[in-house]
A and B are shown apart, each in its own frame.
Chain A
Amino acid sequence: MKTTYRRDDFKKRFVASAPQKRVGVLIVLFVLVIIMLFVPFVRGVISRGLYVIAPPLWTFGAAVGESWDSWWGLISSKQTLISENNTLREELSRMEVLVLDRNALAEEVTRLEETLGRPGSDNRVLGRVLAGPGWSPYDTFIIDVGAEHGIAVADVVVYAGAGTIGEIVEVYPESSKVKLYSSPGEENAVLVGERLAPAVARGRGMGNFIVDVSRGSVVASGDRVVLVKGKLTLGIVGLVEEKSAEPVIHVYFRTPFNLANVHSLEVLVKK
């Protein structure tokens, strides 16, 4: 007896339904993208391609933003502008005094290093921030200086000439990517407080850190935390938490400046 099959039975048995096809396509796409992310050569090519078009776009976006701010400033109330102007002048005067003090110290350090036969060991390259942590879910900065300016992977990045912020992790011809020390999961050797207690600081994101020091260490809110590498300021202690059942003290500290207000960074280029 001849057996015949209906065409739609065939389709049901051997042809995937539309939702199944879509899940299949999604899985293939996902695997392809994973490969592109983790195969260094492929990722490098795609990154370099994206970083050819990205910096001009970011620069254009920043220019549009500045134009908007200028226009908005024109239509803001005169009284608001006067008040803001006075506040900024006062802050500027205060900063000028602090900078004088710091410049005097820097000159003294340079003189001492020369006397000891150890001239200044770093060159500093100033970079403008193209994109920062608030722009992406990652703790990274993109700056407008790269290999053409002498930047290399693992160069330390500082803000305001003193506070260290992170390291260069990717370099392109005219831009580079800075990974912050406060990135979640990052660990760095630090010295805490006036007695320079050694410890390991763990990043918690957006300029925040936590470090555990042994019970009995003298640490208080307002103490400085210094990165062992380079002896640069990493942050200021905000909260010290002591629990009677634990043998350690939890110290929470953060960068002494607001990451959202960082518009330029300095890269310490190795000579």
Chain B
Amino acid sequence: MMKRVVFDILLFGSVFFVPWWGVFALALYGAWRFSFYYEILIAGFCLDILYGATGMPFIFGFGVLGMVCGAAMLLVFERVKQEVRS
């Protein structure tokens, strides 16, 4: 539990201090390492709010790249973990 909290702090801090590909790499590791790591959805949301803007050519004209990637990563990893670890 403590490891997850520490990793959460690292992940949310990386949104401010690390380029997006670094956040992506951390999120990948978190999704693999922890069970149902929904925090990547929140990190993706923070990324979209901080750096995205209205009028961007994504869903309904607003950037949702971080959140959509986070959700996709979570679903894929949960499925893969289920298959690999069962």
A-B complex is real:
yes
Which residues of A approach B to under 8 Å, CB–CB? 19, 22-23, 25-26, 29-30, 33-34, 36-38, 43, 46-47, 50-51, 54, 57-58, 61, 131, 134-138, 140, 142, 169-170, 177, 179, 183-186
Do B78 and A22 have beta carbons less than 8 Å apart? yes
Chain A residues with CB under 8 A of B51: 131, 135-138, 140, 142
Chain B residues with CB under 8 A of A54: 16, 50
CA distance A47 to B46 in the complex (A): 9
Chain A residues with CB under 8 A of B38: 25-26, 29
B34 contacts partner chain A, Cβ-Cβ < 8 Å? no
Do A19 and B65 have beta carbons less than 8 Å apart? no
Chain B residues with CB under 8 A of A22: 36, 78
CB contact under 8 A between A26 and B71, given known A33-B45, A43-B49, A179-B55: yes
> Interface centre among B53, B65, B66, by most A CB within 10 Å?
B53
Q: What is the interface size of chain B, counting residues whose CB is below 8 A from a CB of the partner?
A: 33
CB contact under 8 A between A37 and B62, given known A26-B74, A29-B38: yes
The chain B residue with its CB closest to the CB of A64 is B17
CB contact under 8 A between A185 and B57, given known A26-B38, A33-B67: yes
**In the complex, chain B residues 10-41 whose Cβ is within 8 Å of any chain A Cβ:** 16-17, 19-20, 36, 38, 41
Which secondary structure characterizes the binding site on chain B? helix
CB distance from B38 to the nearest CB of A (A): 6
Chain A residues with CB under 8 A of B63: 138
Give 21 CB contacts A-B under 8 Å.
A19-B78, A25-B38, A26-B71, A26-B74, A26-B75, A33-B67, A36-B45, A37-B64, A58-B16, A131-B50, A131-B51, A136-B52, A138-B53, A138-B63, A140-B52, A179-B55, A183-B56, A184-B57, A185-B56, A185-B57, A186-B55
CB contact under 8 A between A138 and B65, given known A26-B38, A29-B41: yes
Q: For the complex of A and B, list the 3 residue pairs with the smallest distance between their C-beta atoms, beginning with the closest.
A: A185-B57, A136-B51, A57-B16
Chain A residues with CB under 8 A of B62: 37-38
Chain B residues with CB under 8 A of A183: 56-57
CB distance from A83 to the nearest CB of B (A): 28
Do B41 and A30 have beta carbons less than 8 Å apart? yes
Do A19 and B82 have beta carbons less than 8 Å apart? yes
Chain B residues with CB under 8 A of A140: 51-53
Q: Which of B19, B45, B50 touches A134 (beta carbons < 8 Å)? A: B19
CA distance A51 to B82 in the complex (A): 39
Q: Which of A23, A33, A43, A169 touches B55 (beta carbons < 8 Å)? A: A169
B8 contacts partner chain A, Cβ-Cβ < 8 Å? no
Q: Contact string, B71-84, partner A, CB cutoff 8 A, digits 1/0?
A: 10011001000100
CB distance from B72 to the nearest CB of A (A): 11
Chain A residues with CB under 8 A of B50: 50-51, 54, 131, 136, 142
